[in-house]
Amino acid sequence: MKLQKGITIVEIILYLALLSIFMLVLLDIFMGGINLQFESEGTSAVQTDGQFIMARLMSDLKNADSVTTPQILGVSSPSLVFISSGVTFTYSLAGGVLSLTRSGETLALNSLETNVTALNFTRLGNVGGKPTIKIDLTIESKTLRPGLKPETRSYQTTFGLR
pLDDT of residue 39: 61
Distances, alpha carbon 152 to alpha carbons 47, 49, 71, 117, 156, in Å = 9, 12, 30, 9, 14
Supply the pTM of this predicted model: 0.71
| Residues linked to residue 43 through DSSP beta bridges, in sequence order | none
Domain residue limits, the chain: 9-160
- Could you list the beta-strand ranges (E) of 2-161: 66-69, 76-77, 80-84, 87-94, 97-102, 105-108, 114-124, 132-141, 152-160
Q: Is residue 116 classed as helix, strand or coil in its secondary structure?
A: strand
pLDDT of residue 1: 62
| Residues linked to residue 124 through DSSP beta bridges, in sequence order | 132
pLDDT of residue 101: 94
pLDDT of residue 41: 60
User: Cβ distance 141 to 43 under 8 Å?
Assistant: yes
User: Cβ distance 48 to 110 under 8 Å?
Assistant: no
pLDDT of residue 64: 86
- For residue 70, say if its preceding peptide bond is cis, omega within 30 degrees of 0: yes
d(CA 17, CA 22): 9
Per-residue model confidence as pLDDT tens digits over 49-85: 999 999 999 988 888 888 888 888 888 999 999 998 8
User: Cβ distance 55 to 144 under 8 Å?
Assistant: no
**pLDDT < 70: residue spans in the chain:** 1-2, 35-43, 145-146
pLDDT of residue 30: 83
